[in-house]
């Protein structure tokens, strides 16, 4: 039997039930694919359900504010996905009369939709025979064919895509693409794959060579940077101060407390900063660290050593630039990084 047919047979017997497998509505498929980029099904599922309920069609999503979208996305990470999701929804509604492109090529034009996502939507919704190549596919193909070309190089990306095109099932594109991904997720797992009971273990080159543990090959890991975030949590009784992160960089579009990024910030140095002086404007204050030890927030590419300084004051805070006063009750409505969300939940208990 053909490689693709074997995977499809396995898939039909082993696939999980998932809400986006109950529809071919391009809006729902697109939504699920964006949410699942670099994200496990278990983590993305509750977000998919929330979005599908809050925004049943692309029209409701397009009508939302970016802040609403970011708030619903809070905690999922890679927030550019949420901004692109919203921008694309508005584009589909305003320029395309609410109708999604129905080809791989057309889908590729959408913000936040790259090669993988365009292939996924085109195949699942329109049965276009264009193969998906995600982390699962790299693993399955590298093992089955014993390919040790690093998957995160131009040569590797090209080689695996070419192979995927050859293997593509032209009779059942939608089923085949989901089959190979599900096979990678459940059977040909990163660690401890079930090779003993694998339906294609009789022709797996990687298994034959005892190389399953070394495949796929991936080049070098990134080095982690350290950063030091000191948040000024103003508290004049019923209000605090928030500001939005603008421009490029981490957490773009999300809100946070006024920030001093500096390794040596302390209770004693804060009153010497320009931003603090302008804010309290000569008034009385007491600064207390929330915790003595910094909270280390670990991201894949940086470790953020974070301290929250509580600034009790009765003075009228002088807001600067993008800063805004926020009531204790309102603070939970703002989209914030999970790091701040955790702090807010403990400090501003409802």
Residue 256 makes contact with DNA by CB under 7 A:
no
Residues 275-294 that bind DNA (CB under 7 A): none
What is the closest distance, in whole angstroms, from the C-beta atom of residue 256 to DNA in the complex? 11
CA 9/CA 12 separation, integer angstroms: 5
> Which DSSP symbol is given to 23?
-
Residues 69, 80: contact at Cβ < 8 Å?
Answer: no
> Per CB under 7 A, which region of 31-39, 59-67, 94-102, 313-321 contacts DNA?
31-39
Interface characters, 198-227, with DNA (x: CB under 7 A)? ------------------x-xx-xx-----
Residues 119-138 that bind DNA (CB under 7 A): 120, 134-136, 138
What is the closest distance, in whole angstroms, from the C-beta atom of residue 239 to DNA in the complex? 24
60 is catalytic: no
CA 174/CA 127 separation, integer angstroms: 6
Nearer to DNA, 213 or 283 (CB): 213
> Per CB under 7 A, which region of 92-100, 179-187, 231-239, 271-279 contacts DNA?
179-187
What is the closest distance, in whole angstroms, from the C-beta atom of residue 252 to DNA in the complex? 7
Nearer to DNA, 236 or 306 (CB): 306
Nearer to DNA, 3 or 116 (CB): 116
Residue 17 makes contact with DNA by CB under 7 A:
no
- Nearest alpha-carbon partner for 235 in 289, 322, 310: 310
Buried b (16+ CB within 10 A) or exposed e, 41-50: eeebbebbee
> Which DSSP symbol is given to 273?
S
Identify the active-site residue in 33, 128, 159, 182: 33
> Per CB under 7 A, which region of 57-65, 189-197, 198-206, 316-324 contacts DNA?
189-197
Residue 335 makes contact with DNA by CB under 7 A:
no
- Nearest alpha-carbon partner for 342 in 292, 302, 300, 291: 291
Residue 274 makes contact with DNA by CB under 7 A:
no
Residue 79 makes contact with DNA by CB under 7 A:
yes
User: Which listed residue (111, 209, 226, 291) binds DNA by CB under 7 A?
Assistant: 111
What is the closest distance, in whole angstroms, from the C-beta atom of residue 236 to DNA in the complex? 27
DSSP strand pairing (239-244 vs 225-235): unpaired
Please give the C-alpha separations between residue 125 and each of 18, 112, 136, 182, 204, in angstroms, as whole numbers. Answer: 16, 18, 20, 18, 31
Residue 197 makes contact with DNA by CB under 7 A:
no
CA 305/CA 263 separation, integer angstroms: 9
Strands annotated E in the chain: 225-235, 239-244, 255-256, 259-261, 286-289, 295-298, 302-312, 324-327
CA 86/CA 91 separation, integer angstroms: 9
Nearer to DNA, 118 or 200 (CB): 118
Residues across the chain: 350
| End-to-end CA gap in the chain | 60
User: Which residues contact DNA (rule: CB under 7 A)?
Assistant: 18, 20-21, 32-33, 36-43, 75-80, 84, 111-118, 120, 134-136, 138-139, 153-155, 178, 181-182, 184-185, 190-192, 216, 218-219, 221-222, 248-252, 297, 299-302, 337-339
Would you please indicate which residues are annotated as catalytic (active-site) residues? Answer: 33
């Amino acid at each position: 039997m053909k490689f693709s047919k074997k995977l499809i047979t396995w898939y039909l017997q082993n696939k999980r039930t998932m809400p986006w497998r109950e529809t071919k509505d391009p809006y729902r498929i697109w939504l699920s694919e964006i949410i699942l980029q670099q994200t496990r099904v278990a983590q993305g599922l509750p977000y998919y359900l929330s979005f599908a309920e809050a925004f049943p069609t692309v029209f409701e999503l397009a009508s939302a504010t970016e802040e609403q979208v970011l708030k619903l996305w809070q905690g999922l990470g890679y927030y550019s996905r949420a901004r692109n999701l919203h921008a694309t929804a508005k584009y589909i509604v305003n320029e395309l009369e609410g109708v999604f492109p129905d080809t791989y090529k057309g889908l590729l034009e959408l913000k936040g939709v790259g090669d993988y996502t365009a292939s996924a939507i085109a195949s699942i919704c329109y049965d276009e025979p264009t193969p998906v190549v995600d982390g699962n596919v790299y693993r399955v193909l590298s093992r089955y064919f014993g390919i040790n070309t690093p998957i995160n190089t131009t040569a590797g990306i090209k080689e695996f895509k070419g192979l995927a095109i050859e293997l593509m099932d032209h009779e059942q594109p939608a089923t085949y693409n989901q089959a190979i991904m599900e096979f990678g997720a459940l059977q040909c797992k990163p660690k401890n794959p079930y090779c003993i009971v694998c339906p294609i273990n009789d022709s797996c080159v990687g298994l034959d060579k005892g190389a399953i543990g070394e495949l796929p090959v991936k080049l070098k890991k990134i080095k982690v940077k350290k950063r030091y975030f000191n948040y000024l949590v103003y508290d004049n009784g019923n209000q605090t101060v928030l500001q939005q992160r603008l421009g490029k960089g981490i957490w773009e579009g999300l809100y946070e407390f006024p920030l001093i990024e500096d390794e040596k910030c302390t209770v004693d140095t804060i009153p010497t900063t320009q931003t603090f002086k302008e804010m309290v404007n000569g008034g009385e204050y007491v600064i207390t660290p929330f915790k003595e030890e910094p909270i280390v927030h670990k991201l894949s590419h940086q470790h953020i050593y974070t301290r929250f300084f509580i600034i009790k004051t009765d003075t009228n805070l002088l807001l600067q630039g993008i800063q805004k006063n926020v009531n204790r009750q309102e603070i939970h409505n703002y989209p914030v990084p999970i790091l701040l969300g955790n702090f807010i939940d403990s400090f501003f208990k409802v």
